[in-house]
Amino acid sequence: MAKKLDSATEEQQTVEGNQQSAPAAKSERKVTPMDMPRFKGSEYERAEYVCTAHDHTTPQDLLEPGYWAHVSTLLKPRARVEAWANDGTWMAEYVTLEAGRNWARLHLLQVYHFTSGDMAMTQADAMTPYEITFRGPHSKWSVIRKSDRAVLHDGSDTARQATEWLTERMAAGI
């Protein structure tokens, strides 16, 4: 009887030994389910901004921390920035990683490039020496001379208003 006890004890010790070594070899991690304090509406956790970049600015230029010097105090970690080219040829999305008093470091999430046709920025008649172009929310619809790319007029709310401005000037011989 003592012998059977010993072998049962040995088997039990062997089983216990295997159970102890199994977690060490398999190191399972425990994932805690999401709880209410960590789950919030985005408007409470981060700000979202939209900006229009100046002419000749690329999406990569916005990754330079000094680019944000004048607005960096508004940017906090996790803030999203949607940036548009002034002429509407690209749009990029960024997330703020960190910001200081006159700098901010952003991470580029994605970039979209658009053609003139996508943005309806060109006039149908390509033979005219002028073009009516939408140049962003600040310059709005503009009249541009094709030969030297000079902006003759800007600030029209619609393409029709810009076309009327050009028609009036051409009728006057200017």
Q: What is the pLDDT of residue 20?
A: 52
Q: Convert the pLDDT of each residue in 105-114 to its tens digit.
A: 999 999 998 8
Q: What is the pLDDT of residue 25?
A: 56
Residue 10 exposed, middle or buried by CB count within 10 Å (0-12, 13-18, 19+): exposed
Cα radius of gyration rounded to whole Å, the chain: 32
One domain, residues 87 and 127: no
Tokens (6 digits) for 35: 């709880």
Q: What is the pLDDT of residue 63?
A: 97
Instruction: Mark the ranges of the chain whose per-residue pLDDT is less than 70.
Output: 1-26, 116-127, 174
For residue 90, the domain's CATH number is 2.40.240.20
One domain, residues 50 and 110: yes
Q: Convert the pLDDT of each residue in 35-67 to its tens digit.
A: 999 999 988 889 999 999 998 899 999 999 999
Q: What is the pLDDT of residue 1?
A: 46
- Where in the sequence is the domain holding 142, given as residue range(s)? 119-171
One domain, residues 136 and 109: no
Q: Of 76, 63, 69, 71, nearest to 105 (Cα)?
A: 63
Residue 79 belongs to some domain of the structure: yes
